[in-house]
Amino acid sequence: MKVFKFGGASVKDAKSVKNVALVLESQGFEHCILIVSAMGKTTNALEKVVALYFQKGNYKQEIDIIKQNHIDIAKGIFCDQHSVFQEIALFFDDLEAFLRRNKSPNYSFVYDQVVSSGELISSKILSEYLNEKGFTNQWLDVRDFIKTDDTYQEAEVNWQQTEELIRALPENASYVTQGFIGSDSNNFTTTLGREGSDYTAAVFAYCTDAEAMTIWKDVPGVMTGDPRKFENVSLLSNISYEEAIEMAYYGASVIHPKTLQPLQQKNIPFFVKSFLKPEEKGTKISLTAKNELTESYILKNKQTLIRIATRDFSFIAEDHISHIFQLLNQSKIRVSLMQNSAISLALCLEDPFGNIDAFHAELSRDFHTELVKDVSLFTVRNTDLKDLHKFYKNKKVLLEQISRNTLQMVTQ
């Protein structure tokens, strides 16, 4: 079995959907599982629906815009009488019915039930189109296969149950299903965190003992830096699981942090390739002796720097750190960089759920704190430590850390 994941950019319009068939024509579709993201910026648009719903705004108007966008894409692919238009209408009817009937005030719960619609609709459109083009496939509702806990917006996979369900799939067929979503024990929809479609693909690859997994992107593969942010970047042809995990941890957006562990456990090769040029080799991530330790650059924006000190100038001890990290865990705030001295602790934080102010208020009850929002974390991997001065030019550095061949700096 092969696992292919197509992200939002690869199915953003009718032309892109048709291009997926061209990619499969060049790669082969026999015994394949396709994981599909929502089309284009649909997830962002559905997040706006959730926000308007809780603000008592006109969320129906936003739903109508999203619905029309999907109808327009389908019109560029199918004849007017195709059954897919009824399918699209049903998905949006279900979405509006849920919001009409919902009584839960839990934002994360509502978010997951609404935002998951994007993947369900995009995968149905792609599945129908591929069947028409001779790529015979069965559409699967991934919620019947990936089972999770009820941590809405960032659910944890129940691996035992998920593996049993996926392994029951017949191996002599091909499938199209959704990334990013699953369901809990009550069959309510859950999501695996933003950009979780890559993780979904890794779960299917692990559970089917796939021969390989490929993520199709609008870039040639894993680069030494985001070409939208850095000049003179180049392609990394071969990197190890360990190096890829490090890059993902530091914030390389082309790889989802959770994706690599299940693949590494079974030594499943992982390719990152361009859907615009599928004939090119892209990047291979595997258990390799050809690891390219080329200097690479990662920039994470929208970070928060917080400095923490005890009120009585006593040491930052283990009980203090334990308390701080317990609060971080409760607030779903991620630590991108940590640096401590005897009486202070500095943390560079990522706040995906907008909880930083509440966290800061709680922390300030017991500690002296200093908060700086909207900073950037710049990481250089595999660099020559004798030639670091070039990275400091025109930067206001608030915090820096050097370890082995990695430089990190928080800048404003």
Q: Known binding site: residues?
A: 5-8, 43, 119, 228
Q: Which residues lie closer than 8 Å to 159 by C-beta, 6 or more apart?
A: none
- What residues are designated binding site for substrate? 43, 119
- The helix or strand, by DSSP H or E, that contains position 203, with its residue range, turns out to be helix 197-208
Cα separation, 165 vs 161, in Å, equals 6
Residues 118 and 125: their CA atoms lie apart, in Å, by: 11
357 within 8 A of 373, measured Cβ to Cβ: no
In angstroms, rounded to a whole number, what is the distance separating the alpha carbons of residues 174 and 254?
26
Tell me if 158 sits within 8 A of 72, measured CB to CB. Answer: no
The DSSP annotation for 257-320 comes to TTTHHHHHHTT--EEEEESSSTTS--EEEES-S------EEEEEEEEEEEEEEETT-----HHH
Closest to 400 (Cα-Cα) out of 389, 385, 411: 411
Binding residues for ATP: 5-8, 228
Cα 230 to the center of its chain, rounded Å: 22
